[in-house]
């Protein structure tokens, strides 16, 4: 697991041939995972699917674990806009709904499961770190407005945890509507920026 060193060298040239190969390999991994290929997810197979020589994949990523971590990182970073509806409730509802829609995609789900499987704690962190940071940013922004907000851990337990659990562990698809009910349970029903919700 030395993804940092090799991966950082990989995306140093965004427009060159490296980027083309990189996106082709990433797409191949996503395609194979979408087809249910999990235990036979090997480097020669990925390279063949991407019309790239296996040597290249060995040199740039080294192992399937590093490659999966790289794919997951680029998949879970960017393209996700932190909402700014003006109210904390609105922000959280929008964010939870977006995350539910994102995690509801079977292909994304397969990527998450595979990354966890071979990447262990490292891989799992890649799949949730960005989302957790964004959620903390929403809370911090609301608190900077002078309003009381739930604790970070409490928010994670009430929002992120059910979303990821339902997506990864069960066969039920997390819907945006259900995600909004999670926010309703977290925040008191009365005021929008009201107090309460703080633990203990």
List of residues contacting its own copies (CB under 8 A):
36, 38-39, 63-65, 110, 113-114, 116-118, 120-121, 124-125, 127-128, 154, 156-158, 160-162, 164-166, 168-171, 181-182, 184-185, 199-200
Phi, psi of 20 (to 5 degrees): -65, -45
**Closer of 18 and 132 to DNA (Cβ):** 18
Residues 6 or more apart whose Cβ sits within 8 Å of residue 75: 30, 108, 111
Structure tokens belonging to residue 120: 């262990």
DSSP assignment of 32-97: HHHTT--TT--HHHHHHHTT--HHHHHHHT-SHHHHHHHHHHHHHSSS-PPP--SSHHHHHHHHHH
In the complex, what is the shortest distance from the CB of residue 5 to its own copies, in angstroms, rounded to a whole number?
19
Calpha distance 51→109 (Å, rounded): 25
| Only segment of 53-61, 117-125, 156-164, 190-198 that touches DNA (CB under 7 A) | 53-61
Residue 22 binds which entry of DNA, its own copies, none, CB below 5-8 Å type-dependent: DNA
Residue 154 binds which entry of its own copies, DNA, none, CB below 5-8 Å type-dependent: its own copies
Residues in touch with DNA (CB under 7 A): 9-10, 12-13, 15-18, 21-22, 40, 42-45, 51-56, 58-60, 62-64
């Amino acid at each position: 697991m030395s993804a940092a060193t090799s991966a950082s060298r990989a995306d140093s040239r965004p427009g060159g041939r490296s980027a083309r190969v990189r996106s082709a390999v990433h797409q191949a991994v996503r395609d194979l995972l979408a087809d249910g290929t999990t235990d036979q997810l090997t480097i020669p197979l990925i390279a063949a699917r991407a019309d790239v020589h296996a040597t290249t994949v060995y040199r740039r990523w080294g192992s399937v674990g590093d490659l999966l971590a790289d794919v997951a990182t680029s998949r879970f970073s960017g393209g996700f806009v932190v909402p700014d509806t003006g109210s904390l409730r609105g922000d959280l509802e929008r964010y939870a709904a977006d995350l539910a829609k994102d995690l509801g995609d079977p292909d994304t789900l397969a990527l998450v499961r595979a990354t966890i499987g071979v990447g262990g704690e490292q891989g799992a962190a890649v799949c949730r770190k960005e989302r957790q940071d964004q959620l903390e940013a929403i809370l911090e922004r609301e608190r900077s407005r002078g309003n009381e907000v739930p604790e970070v851990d409490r928010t994670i337990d009430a929002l992120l945890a059910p979303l990821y659990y339902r997506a990864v562990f069960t066969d039920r698809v997390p819907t945006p509507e259900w995600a909004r009910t999670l926010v309703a349970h977290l925040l008191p029903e009365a005021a929008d920026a009201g107090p309460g919700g703080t633990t203990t």
